[in-house]
Structure 1
Amino acid sequence: MTTHHDAWPTGTPAWADITVPDLTTARAFYGPLLGWEFEVGGPELGFYTQAHVGGRRVVGMGEPMEADPPGPPAWCVYLAADDLAATTAAITEAGGKEIVPAMRIMDLGAMALFADTAGAVFGVWEPGTHTGWDVVDEPGAVVWCEVMVHDQPGALAFYQRVFGYTVEDLSAPGFQYASVSLEGEPLAGVGGYGPQAGADAPAAWTLYFGVADAEVSAAQVAELGGTVVSPATDTPFGRMAIVAGPFGEVFALMGPVAGGA
């Protein structure tokens, strides 16, 4: 099932958004690339824009407000919480840091931003009338989320302590990686940078968007004003390309393996 209209269980990736300098440019890039249609909110929401696939919510986009902290545009993953106050306490007790304190957004829900013990920024969303994204695991929607850090065991212990994840170690020689699950459902990955990444590689969450053909979509990224960071290659989970949008924001494209269905 790829459509989901109910609230997501605590600890599940449930929403993502990005603050960009120019929404017109963002829509011109992501609309053709991922088949998104856009719904623009009113002035009370700062004209926050939601992207849809087939009438179902996928992600949000906004422009900076005066109170927004400065920084380069980057996709932010929000993990669901049925009790934001309790989750905030669990995060700080586990060594995380609160960046943006909890704020309620009308009847839509409440949010806060945090940094994990490795410094990767993520959000937490307590749903109200807005339960998060409505669709996953199909073209145009999010198919996977992962956080890459330099201290993989430390980050993994942090997220497991906060959200009670079950961990499956998928590491190989020279590669540290684990999948985290709730009730047997894999939700996200926690990986460690290899030496080739360099010490300056920032700890960060990455979104994977589904596409019909990773090779074709990667070429389209360049045509639309983005850049290809890592060309499409086959993995055990699909054909993947790492790309950057028009503002330098990094994300991944995932399609079927070459010659696959």
Structure 2
Amino acid sequence: MITTDSVHGAPTWLDLGTPDLDGAVAFYEGIFGWRFQAGGAETGGYGMFRLDGKTVAGGMTVTPDQGAPAWTVYFRTADADATAKAAEQAGGTAFLPPMDVLDQGRMAILGDPAGATFGLWQPGLHTGFGHVTQDGGLNWVELYTSDVAAAEEFYGAALGWGTFDVQFPGGSYTTVNPAGQDEHAMFGGIVPLDADADADADADASEAQAGPHWVPYIHVPDVDAAAAAARTLGGTVRSAPVDVPGVGRIAKLADPYGAGFAVIKGDPEQK
């Protein structure tokens, strides 16, 4: 599961790039109750989303030439340079090579061999999440990719992940966990791009059109209410709320500028 502990290879941060930061702040406050604290001039406008005073994510303005609106998941490393090098040797790409972020830490933005973008974070003063798992916090991450086996191999080489297949009616789901830990430490899954084809053609089309990418799941007390709020606030329901046996209730959404994410209310029997 996702924790606030600093564990190598596990999700440690999440941030949003958006063309309209004020509009995005209003949207996410309306859905999750997040409040935004803008950084100073030295941060280039980067700021923090907080819930009850605890950090849950970051956010910044991006221009069209800098990239499309999106959420980026960062994975913890003790050495961003060494991990970036391992990723490149495994077939990945360094879109933004390792660099210091003031005294807060060291970061890099990479792409896996299929093209999914993710980040590395080597903690300095900023150690990562202050709130996860429960309402308003990151609860799960999911990689949509064209080749599950290749993704397992790449992230295993770059970040040391272990994998475990969970059996469901009609198939299996590949989960991932930090190096040296078992399936009880799983924090995410790897899914074929066409995985939803039989269950929800619209959802499948949405994920397939986006190409390989990461999706963050935020825990909410009411998935249907979150989906309704997204519509009201100008966002999109990419995949309607649905119950997943043994997991909980989920929906896939997008903010008004196109950044995709998902919401989940976990099955209490699984906690």
Using the size of structure 1 for normalisation, the TM-score is 0.91
1:147 paired with 2:156, answer no
1:246 paired with 2:242, answer no
1:106 paired with 2:85, answer no
1:210 paired with 2:219, answer yes
Structure 1, 51-60 or 193-202: larger mean CA deviation: 193-202
Cα displacement (A) at 1:201? 4.2
Q: Which residue of 2 aligns with 1:59?
A: 57
More helix by share: 2
- SS of equivalent to 1:160: helix
Q: Which residue of 2 aligns with 1:231?
A: 240
Q: Deviations over 1:52-104 (max 9, x none)?
A: 11111100000127xx8533201000001101111011101111111111110
Cα displacement (A) at 1:177? 3.1
In the aligned structure 1, how far is the partner of 2:146 from the partner of 2:56? 29
In the alignment of these two chains, the number of paired residues is: 256
Aligned partners of 1:110 and 1:128 also within 8 Å: yes
In the aligned structure 2, how far is the partner of 1:175 from the partner of 1:49? 41
Q: 1:203 to 1:3 in 2, by over 3 A?
A: closer
1:221 paired with 2:219, answer no
Cα displacement (A) at 1:156? 1.2
Aligned partners of 1:174 and 1:194 also within 8 Å: no
Q: Which residue of 2 aligns with 1:31?
A: 29
Cα displacement (A) at 1:175? 5.3
- SS of equivalent to 1:75: strand
Q: Which residue of 1 aligns with 2:12?
A: 14
- SS of equivalent to 2:133: coil
Aligned partners of 1:152 and 1:176 also within 8 Å: no
Q: 1:98 to 1:69 in 2, by over 3 A?
A: farther
Amino acid at match of 1:203: P
What is the 5 A alignment of 1:111-260?
A: 111-170=107-166, 177-182=173-178, 183-184=181-182, 185-194=185-194, 196=197, 197=204, 200-235=209-244, 236-256=246-266
Cα displacement (A) at 1:3? 7.2
- SS of equivalent to 1:76: strand
**5+ residue gaps in structure 2?**
198-203
In the aligned structure 1, how far is the partner of 2:101 from the partner of 2:159? 24
Aligned partners of 2:237 and 2:252 also within 8 Å: yes
Cα displacement (A) at 1:18? 1.4
Aligned partners of 1:2 and 1:138 also within 8 Å: no
Note the aligned Cα RMSD (angstroms): 2.3
In the aligned structure 2, how far is the partner of 1:231 from the partner of 1:146? 17
Amino acid at match of 1:218: A
Amino acid at match of 1:11: G
Amino acid at match of 2:218: F
Aligned partners of 2:56 and 2:130 also within 8 Å: yes
